[in-house]
Every structure is written in C-alpha cells, then in structure tokens.
Amino acid sequence: MSLKGFHIVFVTVSTLLCVFLALWSFVLAPERSGMITALGVVGVVGALLMPVYGVYFYRKITRIHL
C-alpha cells in the first residue's frame, strides 16, 4: 500500500473512531463525569481536525506527484 493510500485509510478510520468516542461520551456513557466529558470534547475536536489534515495531506501529495 502506498503512502497516499495508507494516509487516506488512516484518516478515515481515525475520524470514525473520534466520532464514536464523542457519541459514546455524550450519548451512550453509563455515567457522566469530568473525564468522560473531556474524552467527548477530544473526540469532537479530532472528528473536526482529522478531515482537515486529510485534505491538506491529499493536496500536498498530489502537488509533489508521489
């Protein structure tokens, strides 16, 4: 698998895991605590930033034809 293909898969899986973490934290967690809320915030931030990184990487890699 090429570097470009690996990154596309990695960013997709990481984004889905961040979405699951946020969903679990805010909807499915059995009890509410500060740590669970912090994990939810991290999940939301990750779910927003990972696709931004993916687009940045994809544009950069296509510019250098790798």
- pLDDT tens digits, 41-59: 999 999 999 999 999 999 9
Are 25 and 39 in contact, with CB atoms under 8 Å apart? yes
Higher pLDDT, 38 or 29: 38
**How many domains does the chain fold into?**
1
- Residue 1 pLDDT > 90: no
Domain limits for position 53: 3-63
Are 47 and 22 in contact, with CB atoms under 8 Å apart? yes
